[in-house]
Amino acid sequence: MNNTPHDLKNAIDESLGSVHFNAQDMRAVLRQTRAKDAPQRRRAPARKKRLRLDLIAAAASIVLVVAPVTIFALRAGMRGTTDIKTITAAHTGAASLGETDAPSVTPAQQEDVLPAETAAQTPSNAPAVSPAASMSESEAIRIARACFEENCDTGIFTFEEYTVDVQSAFDYGADDVRHIEVTLTSIYDNGCFFRVSIDPASGRVLSFSTPKLATEPTRLNLESDEVSAWYAKNGAFAFTWPLEEQAEFSRRYEGGMIRLPREGEADEERIANRFALHIDELIALTGDHVIGYYITLYDGKAYADGQARYQVYCFPGGEIEDQLPDAYMILTFLAGSGDFESSQLISPETP
Amino acid sequence: MAAYTKEMRKEALVLMMQRYGDSVKRMCCVYLHDLPSAEDAAQDTFIKAYDHIDQILSQEIQNEKAWLMRIAINTCKDMLRSSWMRRIDKRKPIEELPLSTSYAPEESLALTQAVMSLPPKLKDIILLHYYQDMNLRTCAEVLGISGATATRWLQKAQAKIRKELERS
Q: Indicate which CATH number applies to the domain containing B137.
A: 1.10.10.10
Q: A67 pLDDT exceeds 70? A: no
Domain ranges, ordered by start, for chain A: 64-215, 261-346
The pLDDT score that the predictor gives to residue A146 is 96
Please report which residue ranges of chain A form alpha helices under DSSP H: 5-15, 23-37, 45-61, 67-79, 115-121, 137-151, 212-215, 225-234, 243-253, 268-286
User: What's phi and psi for A126, nearest 5 deg?
Assistant: -65, 145
User: What's the rounded mean pLDDT across residues B5-31?
Assistant: 89
Cβ atoms within 10 Å, residue A17: 16
Q: Which residues does chain A have within 8 Å of residue B131's beta carbon, measured at their own beta carbons?
A: 8-9, 12
Do residues A80 and A171 touch, judged by C-beta distance below 8 A?
yes
The pLDDT score that the predictor gives to residue A185 is 93
Residue B97 lies in a domain: no
Last residue of a domain, one of B42, B71, B92: B92
The pLDDT score that the predictor gives to residue A119 is 36
In angstroms, the CA B104 to CA B102 distance is: 6
Q: What pLDDT, in 10s, does the model give residues A4-34?
A: 556 788 888 888 877 888 888 888 898 888 8
User: What's the rounded mean pLDDT across residues B129-134?
Assistant: 87
Residue B3 lies in a domain: yes
Specify whether B72 is located in the same domain as B153.
Answer: no
Q: A70 pLDDT exceeds 80? A: no
Q: What's chain B's length in residues?
A: 168
Specify whether B30 is located in the same domain as B109.
Answer: no
Q: What pLDDT, in 10s, does the model give residues A237-279?
A: 888 888 899 999 988 888 888 899 999 999 988 888 888 777 7
Q: A314 pLDDT exceeds 60? A: yes
The pLDDT score that the predictor gives to residue B101 is 46
Interface test with B, best of A10, A14, A21 (most B CBs within 10 A): A21
Last residue of a domain, one of B70, B92, B114: B92
CATH class of A261-346: alpha beta
Q: Is B54 on the interface with A (CB under 8 A)?
A: no
What pLDDT band is residue A173 in, cutting at 50, 70 and 90? Answer: low
Residue B72's CATH number: 1.10.1740.10
Residue B123 lies in a domain: yes
Q: What angle (nearest 5°) sits at the alpha carbon of residue B120, between those of residues B97 and A30?
A: 60
In angstroms, the CA A35 to CA A44 distance is: 14
List the one residue out of A308, A313, A246 whose CA is nearest residue A278.
A313
Do residues B111 and B165 touch, judged by C-beta distance below 8 A?
yes
The pLDDT score that the predictor gives to residue B38 is 87
Specify whether B121 is located in the same domain as B84.
Answer: no
From A8, A25, A329, residue closest to B130, measured CB to CB:
A8
Domain count, chain B: 2
Interface test with B, best of A16, A30, A275, A285 (most B CBs within 10 A): A16
DSSP 3-state of A344: strand
From A11, A29, A349, residue closest to B108, measured CB to CB:
A11
The pLDDT score that the predictor gives to residue A39 is 53
The pLDDT score that the predictor gives to residue B48 is 92
Whether residue B87 and residue A37 make contact (CB cut-off 8 A), yes or no, is no
Q: What's chain A's length in residues?
A: 351
H or E element: which one contains B49?
helix B35-51
User: What's the rounded mean pLDDT across residues B78-94?
Assistant: 56
Q: B46 pLDDT exceeds 90? A: yes
Q: What pLDDT, in 10s, does the model give residues B87-110?
A: 444 445 555 554 544 466 778 888
Instruction: Give the percent of chain A with pLDDT over 90.
Output: 20
Residue B87 lies in a domain: yes
Whether residue B22 and residue A30 make contact (CB cut-off 8 A), yes or no, is no
Q: Is A74 on the interface with B (CB under 8 A)?
A: no
Whether residue A7 and residue B126 make contact (CB cut-off 8 A), yes or no, is no
What pLDDT band is residue A78 in, cutting at 50, 70 and 90? Answer: very low
Whether residue B47 and residue A32 make contact (CB cut-off 8 A), yes or no, is yes
Q: Structure pTM?
A: 0.43
What range does the domain containing B68 cover?
1-92
List the one residue out of A274, A263, A269 whose CA is nearest residue A340.
A274
Residue B21 lies in a domain: yes
Specify whether B84 is located in the same domain as B110.
Answer: no
Instruction: Give the percent of chain B with pLDDT over 90.
Output: 15
Last residue of a domain, one of B67, B92, B117: B92
* Mean pLDDT value across chain A: 71
The pLDDT score that the predictor gives to residue A54 is 45
Whether residue A343 and residue B88 make contact (CB cut-off 8 A), yes or no, is yes
Residue B41 lies in a domain: yes
In angstroms, the CA A66 to CA A77 distance is: 16
Specify whether B108 is located in the same domain as B58.
Answer: no
Q: Is B107 on the interface with A (CB under 8 A)?
A: yes
What pLDDT band is residue A135 in, cutting at 50, 70 and 90? Answer: confident
Specify whether B75 is located in the same domain as B110.
Answer: no
Q: How far does CA A235 lie from the centroid of its chain?
A: 19
Specify whether B66 is located in the same domain as B120.
Answer: no
Q: Is A342 on the interface with B (CB under 8 A)?
A: yes
Q: A42 pLDDT exceeds 50? A: no
Residue B98 lies in a domain: no
Q: A115 pLDDT exceeds 70? A: no
Specify whether B22 is located in the same domain as B59.
Answer: yes
Q: A138 pLDDT exceeds 60? A: yes
Do residues A98 and A249 touch, judged by C-beta distance below 8 A?
no
> Which of A131-145, B32-46, B131-145 is least confident?
A131-145
Specify whether B108 is located in the same domain as B48.
Answer: no
User: What's the rounded mean pLDDT across residues A78-82?
Assistant: 37
Specify whether B53 is located in the same domain as B131.
Answer: no
The pLDDT score that the predictor gives to residue A112 is 30
Q: A69 pLDDT exceeds 50? A: no
Do residues A262 and A222 touch, judged by C-beta distance below 8 A?
no
User: What's the rounded mean pLDDT across residues B119-130?
Assistant: 88
Specify whether B2 is located in the same domain as B69.
Answer: yes
Adjacent-strand bridge partners of A293: A314
Q: What pLDDT, in 10s, does the model give residues A87-101?
A: 333 333 333 333 334
In angstroms, the CA A271 to CA A3 distance is: 45
Q: Which 234-293 residues of chain A touch chain B by CB within 8 A?
A: 278, 281-282, 284-286
Q: Which residues does chain A have within 8 Å of residue B47's beta carbon, measured at their own beta carbons?
A: 29, 32-33, 36
The pLDDT score that the predictor gives to residue A136 is 86
User: What's the rounded mean pLDDT across residues B53-67?
Assistant: 84
Q: What pLDDT, in 10s, does the model give residues A202-241?
A: 899 999 998 988 988 887 777 788 888 888 888 888 888 8
Handedness of CA A225, A228, A232, A238 (dihedral sign): positive
Q: Is A21 on the interface with B (CB under 8 A)?
A: yes
Residue B109 lies in a domain: yes
Specify whether B161 is located in the same domain as B122.
Answer: yes
